């Protein structure tokens, strides 16, 4: 074989090797474990322990949990429900509705994240919230011929420059079942100088497809077959509008949803952002939120720091109420100061704009 042919063959081999990640499993997480923290503290550790969030009953072990039995031979159909599992969708948001009590789902959901390569940095069963640590999706690293031969020895030298974490929220519904929400937050490592000798971690947009993939995998964990889970994720395409509006001089987001659905969607949108929900009162339709600086670089404001102006320190002290109220066949989402007074027009406009973008 002449040198040119050999070079062409090697190039083809490298190309095919680099494409294997696209053909195989697109999700393969490795927890950061005890690696240095990214110093992005959007946590919920200070949430009030109030009875309206308590998951009823005591926790059960995964071994004692009996999942619903479904036939693996069933042909998947274009439906949004199967057995006691249903998926709802609005725009880029999806969540599961399961006809099982929350206390019967807590341990299986916890095991699910551990089985998928994550560590849990927060587990608050009384609030129905758990959160993973930052982890890297190793499936994004190209599987070229070099890495396939020596990658196992020098695996730590390869990095995607991205990290992900996921928050899971379990909420009881009026029928005694449970709604499960999975929200994603991402960070990306970028150069912060023209010399490209230093890097910082910055937030990147939430990935709805990652959320959907983990919802699908969770369905499999709860007894749905692989084929059926894919059919359920593909179904439920109804999309409700979200648009900016003004009511009594205040900027709002208007959702073409009833209160129950709007409440769920706003909660998921807040979970995706760098606002921490400190408390919530569904009976009054209010989320109590505070801003958390997302950037590990203390010298520059992060995305939400810039959202509120040049002073990250001042914006980090701001607290707001995000209100959801029903109006005819729609729901209105507005922003108030911590004392319940209308938020400054500039702050309210920026917040509702961010929410509207996520709620589309």
Kindly report the pTM of this predicted structure: 0.64
CA–CA distance, 151 with 245 (Å, rounded to integer): 53
CA–CA distance, 104 with 26 (Å, rounded to integer): 30
CA–CA distance, 270 with 278 (Å, rounded to integer): 11
pLDDT of residue 143: 56
pLDDT of residue 239: 55
Average pLDDT, the chain: 73
All structural domains of the chain, each given as residue ranges with its CATH number in brackets, are 24-239 (3.30.530.50), 240-360 (3.30.310.170)
Residue 198 main-chain phi, psi, to 5 deg = -140, 150
Strands 85-90 and 93-98: antiparallel
pLDDT of residue 1: 52
pLDDT of residue 161: 84
String of b and e for 29-52 (b: at least 16 CB within 10 Å)?
A: bebbeeeeebebebebeebeeeee
* Three-state DSSP class for residue 30: strand
- Write out 248-289 in H/E/C secondary structure: CCEEEEEECCCHHHHHHHHHHHHHHCCEEEEEEECCCCEEEE
DSSP characters over 284-342: TTEEEEEE----S-TTS--HHHHHT-S-HHHHHT-EEEEEEEEETTEEEEEEEETTSSB
For 70-103, what is each residue's pLDDT tens digit?
Answer: 333 333 333 566 789 988 887 778 899 999 999 9
pLDDT of residue 71: 36
Look at residues 272, 284, 290 and name the one whose alpha carbon lies nearest to residue 337: 290
Which helix (H) or strand (E) element contains residue 112? Answer: helix 106-115
Q: What percent of the chain has pLDDT over 70?
A: 65
Residues of the chain with pLDDT under 70: 1-25, 32-81, 141-158, 236-240, 274, 291-317
């Amino acid at each position: 074989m002449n040198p040119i042919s050999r070079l062409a063959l090697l190039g083809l081999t490298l190309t095919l090797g680099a494409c294997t990640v696209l053909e195989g499993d697109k999700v393969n997480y490795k927890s950061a474990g005890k690696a240095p923290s990214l110093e992005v503290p959007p946590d919920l550790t200070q949430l009030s322990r109030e009875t309206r969030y308590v998951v009823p009953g005591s926790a059960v072990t995964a071994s004692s949990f009996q999942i619903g039995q479904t036939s693996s031979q069933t042909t998947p159909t274009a439906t949004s429900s199967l057995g006691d599992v249903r998926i709802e969708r609005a725009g880029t948001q999806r969540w599961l509705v399961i006809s099982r009590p929350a206390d019967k789902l807590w341990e299986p959901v916890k095991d699910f994240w551990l089985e998928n390569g994550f560590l849990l940095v927060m587990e608050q069963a009384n609030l129905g919230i758990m959160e993973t640590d930052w982890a890297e999706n190793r499936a994004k690293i190209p599987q070229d011929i070099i890495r396939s031969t020596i990658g196992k020895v020098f695996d730590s030298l390869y990095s995607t420059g991205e990290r992900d974490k996921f928050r899971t929220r379990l909420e009881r519904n009026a029928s005694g079942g449970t709604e499960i929400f999975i929200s994603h937050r991402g960070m990306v490592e970028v150069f912060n100088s023209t010399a490209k000798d230093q890097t910082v971690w910055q937030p990147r947009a939430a990935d709805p497809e990652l959320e959907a993939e983990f919802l699908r995998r969770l369905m499999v964990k709860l007894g749905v077959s692989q084929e059926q889970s894919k059919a359920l994720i593909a179904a439920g395409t109804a999309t409700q509008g979200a648009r900016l509006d003004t009511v009594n001089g205040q900027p709002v987001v208007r959702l073409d949803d009833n209160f129950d659905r709007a409440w769920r969607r706003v909660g998921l949108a807040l979970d995706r952002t760098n606002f921490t929900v400190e408390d919530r009162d569904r009976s009054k339709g209010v989320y109590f939120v505070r801003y958390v600086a997302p950037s590990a670089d203390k010298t520059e404001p992060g995305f939400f720091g810039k959202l509120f102006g040049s002073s990250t320190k001042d914006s980090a002290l701001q607290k707001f109420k995000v209100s959801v109220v029903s109006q005819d066949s729609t729901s209105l989402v507005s922003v108030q100061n911590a004392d319940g007074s209308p938020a400054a027009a500039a702050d309210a406009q920026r917040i509702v704009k961010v929410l509207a973008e996520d709620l589309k």
